[in-house]
Amino acid sequence: MQAVTPERVGAHLEQHFGDATAAHGSSAYQVNVQGDINFHRQSEDDRCLADLRETDPTVDKERIEQTKGGLLKDSYRWILENDDFRQWHNNPESQLLWIKGDPGKGKTMLICGIIDELESTTVDDKHKSHLAYFFCQATDSRLNNAIAVLRGLIYLLIRQQPSLISNIPEKYRHAVAALFKDQNAWWELSKMLKSILQDPGTQDTYLIIDALDECVEDLGLLLNFIANNSTAYPRVKWIVSSRNWPDIDEGLDTAKQKMTLCLELSPESISAAVGTYIQHKVDRLSETKKYTDDTRDSVQRYLNSNAKDTFLWVALVCQELDKIHRFHNPLKRLKTFPPGLDAIYQQMIGQMCKLEIANLCKQIIAVVCLAYRPITLGELKSMVDIAEDVCNNDEALTDIIGLCGSLLTVRDNTIFFVHQSAKDFLLEAASDGIFLGGKEVVHRTIFSRSLQVMSATLKQDIYKLDHPGIFIDDIKPPIPDPLATVKYACVYWFKHLCSTPDQLLGYENALSDNGLVFAFLEEHFLHWLEALSLIGELSKSFDMIDNLLAMGGPTRSTKLSGFLHDAKRFVPRYFSIVSSSPLQLYSSALIFAPQQSIIRNTFQKRIPSWILLQPKMEVDWHALLLTLEDHSAVNSVTFSHDSKLLASGSNDQTVMIWNVSAGSCQQTLEGHNGWIRSVSFSHDSKLLASASYDKTIKIWKISTGSCQQTLEGQYGCLRSVSFSHDSKLLALMPNMANDKTIKIWNMSATPKFCQQTLEGHTQVVTSVAFSHNSKLLASASRDKTIKIWDLSTSCYQQVAKDHSRHIDNFAFDRTFEIDRIGLSPSSHYPHERKEESHNGLAIDKSWITWKEQKLLWLPPNYRDRQFCISPSGSIISTATENWNFIIIGFSLTGLKQRFG
């Protein structure tokens, strides 16, 4: 009998199926290698620093100062003599200073002045200090979230001291940008910054964060980080500023040695500073407008009398005076400006309403107000009714925005509010006059127009990349970028849909079988996923699916329901590959989907013509929902009780918290010094306990990823932990031959302590389970018995004995546990083997390649298992771990014509 070899199998396949070739066009393909060229031009460190830089805080500082008319030294010098500031600056034990004040009090310019003063004292090389800062701005998506703050601080610290780049983990050194596309970004960046701050080479450091109240995303995480770390590093001093918000006060309250400087409690200093600012502004107006001395003095007196110690009010009034022609008397116009920010905003809106284009201005303000991030001029054009000649003229559109009561400004083709207080006023006090028909109507308009612009713009391979295996890091958007005008719509269309009530939306028109939503998804779902991947927002698709299902669409539309449920399986299954190689949507993702997948059948025609023979897949989605990778040698997994999170404990001494919906790691908990044997969520899903062979149990706060307490005792290695259902008790089982006890810790006490030791088993306890009223505890042991304990008395009743073998796991009811699960692809595919046919079709790890170019991604369960190629190279066969074979046929002629 002849030996069965891959070559003989391939020959048999080719004889059976024939040479899968077909005639195609003769156009050749050239790979765009510009990304590779740019990568090699830069050193690794330069590339890493470039990836970190979402924005340069030093440039932001310059822009803010210029926008506000320049930094006046005499307007901030008062703080240098302030007792609270001097104590913070001079006392080694005073490490956190919180500067708080109402809107318009000049907090940001005060911070700019402090930065200048601190920079002037850090030039001595013998005692050199470092200074990193960040300016939060709610109206700028690059500056309004906690992740952006950490990126900015890390960027400046590394730029000042390049050696600190060693604190960025090796796995991110070559592609730091990829870090910011997953849900683990905050936790990884937190670890990086803490590593930098404790680096022996780090000099004395100042960290300054302005406008915490304008950090609109993950502010709680940022406050917790500041509070927990402000005293952790003796060489680091912090300054933060914000409005007088109770939430911020509470978030910073746990910080030790915190000092507070309230601007309202320094009225004389603020009044003097505002007076200096007024004098400066009037001097400039007097020079440009040729004021007489009397006019100049009158303007200055009016401003001093009505400013109410508010810099912003002065700036807005002087901005309006600057628009008056030099031959007109400014005093008459000046006296129309009422004191107070709200009053002047109301006046601006009243003046705008008198314009011929008042309705257009209202539309623009309404859209900018309700948008979930600042929108560009191009994005605005698709959301409001603008004349065609204006649509084609950005300068004309900018002029129209300038007529919106001086409430908006345009910078880098993006529209912003002049100040956060202006947006707050419009939303709270002026909504009736701005949101014609109500805010819900504006949401409906943005939703419907977003679908229109996406339907008109999105298409397969919108960047004309051609090659299906190209990686996201190698993709450079073309100029002009065809996605530039639809980026906002792609990310937020369904949020505006969710903000529109039933009676306004008309579900029969939107969520019916013939409605707008299903029509869009049926035609453009893959195009939309491709666009999200290209702009780094693919994870937003999870929100869309969940939100539409929650809206009740499935109860109203059979087709939409089926499509969404199929999408809920399709997107997580292929998320990892689509986020890194967008064009695999049309090849690998489709051909490896089940035969009855609605998405596969809907978009069957999108599959490339060079795939002639598709693999025969399972009929429908099987029970496996997700495969979570990148955590090796996992010993224990457990779901949170709200089913949103999954924790895994590993031999690598870490716990990984997974987002079940997204199928991605949300955070990594580090701190143990031994293998982690068991993990357990509290029943309120807020705490996690992890037991380790390092003889400790750590209690983690899920919202922050911080270790709240380490429980230690003479227990040796620990086998398992379990929370009671009321989350007040924690049971742990030592893994020592001479310890047959169960330790019960009180988790509601401060500090937590061991309140009971249950003794009675004659062998090691292997598993425990609390009753649902938390009054009883059942324990199983290698002594082949089960005991039930009354926790109020520590007494037990022997329930069962003489089992044929010892018991490893059991429960009262409704309990599920997996003893061990491997998540590392390397354990399945240890050999990096590469086989080639003479025609060039080959497999390289997880990809089928053509002449060393990645062509078709193979799902994890189809890799490196009895792989074979037909002699011509046109047919490939591979098997799953269960030895289920699949066969894929390619057109070699088509491949040569398409890719060379």
CA separation for the pair 229, 252 (Å, rounded) = 11
Coil, helix or strand at residue 92: coil
Query: What's the mean pLDDT in 705-713?
Result: 79
The 10s digit of each residue's pLDDT in 430-455 is 877 888 788 888 999 999 999 999 99
Candidate from 350-359, 433-442, 855-864 with smallest mean pLDDT? 855-864
CA separation for the pair 772, 756 (Å, rounded) = 19
C-alpha 302: how far from chain center = 48
Whether 895 and 624 have beta carbons less than 8 Å apart is answered as: no
Coil, helix or strand at residue 476: coil
Q: How far is CA 537 from CA 194, 490, 608, in A?
A: 27, 9, 25
HEC readout, 126-140? HHCEEEEEEECCCCC
User: What pLDDT, on the 0 to 100 scale, is given for residue 457?
Assistant: 95
What is the helix (H) or strand (E) element at residue 417, kind and residue range?
strand 414-417
Q: Is 44-265 in CATH node 3.40.50.11740?
A: no
Greatest mean pLDDT range, 376-385, 720-729, 798-807: 376-385
Q: Is the peptide bond before 246 cis (omega within 30 degrees of 0)?
A: no
What residues form DSSP beta bridges with 698? 690, 710
Query: What's the mean pLDDT in 299-325?
Result: 85
CA separation for the pair 598, 526 (Å, rounded) = 12
User: What pLDDT, on the 0 to 100 scale, is given for residue 800?
Assistant: 62
CA separation for the pair 373, 389 (Å, rounded) = 26
Candidate from 154-158, 203-207, 769-773 with smallest mean pLDDT? 769-773
User: What pLDDT, on the 0 to 100 scale, is given for residue 13?
Assistant: 44
User: What pLDDT, on the 0 to 100 scale, is given for residue 239?
Assistant: 94
The 10s digit of each residue's pLDDT in 89-127 is 988 888 999 999 888 888 898 999 999 988 887 655 455
Q: How many C-beta atoms surround the C-beta of residue 759 within 10 A?
A: 11
User: What pLDDT, on the 0 to 100 scale, is given for residue 379?
Assistant: 93
- pLDDT band of residue 152 (cuts 50, 70, 90) is very high
For the record, the structure tokens of 84 come out as: 């609270």
Question: Regarding the domain delimited by 634-800, which CATH topology (the fold level of the hierarchy) does it fall under?
Answer: Methylamine Dehydrogenase; Chain H (2.130.10)
What DSSP character marks residue 819?
S
User: What pLDDT, on the 0 to 100 scale, is given for residue 485?
Assistant: 92
Q: How far is CA 437 from CA 26, 345, 366, 431, 502, in A?
A: 57, 21, 11, 10, 15
The 10s digit of each residue's pLDDT in 171-211 is 665 555 556 655 677 888 898 899 999 888 777 899 999 99
- pLDDT band of residue 460 (cuts 50, 70, 90) is very high
User: What pLDDT, on the 0 to 100 scale, is given for residue 533?
Assistant: 93
Give the CA angle between residues 862, 866, 867 to the nearest 5°.
70
- pLDDT band of residue 583 (cuts 50, 70, 90) is very high
Amino acid letter, residue 23: A
Q: Is the peptide bond before 734 cis (omega within 30 degrees of 0)?
A: no
CA separation for the pair 157, 747 (Å, rounded) = 39
User: What pLDDT, on the 0 to 100 scale, is given for residue 864?
Assistant: 56
For the record, the structure tokens of 439 come out as: 């805010």
In this structure, what are the phi and psi dihedrals at residue 788, rounded to the nearest 5 degrees?
A: -115, 125
User: What pLDDT, on the 0 to 100 scale, is given for residue 23?
Assistant: 34
Of 376 and 3, the one with more pLDDT: 376
- pLDDT band of residue 867 (cuts 50, 70, 90) is low
What would the DSSP string read from start to end of 144-182?
A: SBHHHHHHHHHHHHHHH-GGGGGGS-HHHHT-HHHHTTS
The 10s digit of each residue's pLDDT in 638-677 is 888 777 788 888 888 888 888 776 666 778 888 888 888 8
User: What pLDDT, on the 0 to 100 scale, is given for residue 41?
Assistant: 36
User: What pLDDT, on the 0 to 100 scale, is given for residue 2?
Assistant: 43
User: What pLDDT, on the 0 to 100 scale, is given for residue 537?
Assistant: 87
* Stated length of the chain: 900
Residue 541 has pLDDT above 80, yes or no: yes
CA separation for the pair 666, 650 (Å, rounded) = 16
Whole-angstrom Cα Rg for the chain: 32
User: What pLDDT, on the 0 to 100 scale, is given for residue 630?
Assistant: 64
Residue 462 has pLDDT above 90, yes or no: yes
User: What pLDDT, on the 0 to 100 scale, is given for residue 820?
Assistant: 24
User: What pLDDT, on the 0 to 100 scale, is given for residue 900?
Assistant: 75
Coil, helix or strand at residue 858: coil
CA separation for the pair 545, 498 (Å, rounded) = 12
Amino acid letter, residue 287: E
User: What pLDDT, on the 0 to 100 scale, is given for residue 682?
Assistant: 86
User: What pLDDT, on the 0 to 100 scale, is given for residue 553?
Assistant: 47
The 10s digit of each residue's pLDDT in 589-623 is 999 999 899 999 999 999 998 888 888 888 888 66
User: What pLDDT, on the 0 to 100 scale, is given for residue 380?
Assistant: 92
**What percent of the chain is predicted at pLDDT more than 70?**
80
CA separation for the pair 337, 318 (Å, rounded) = 10
Residue 25 has pLDDT above 50, yes or no: no
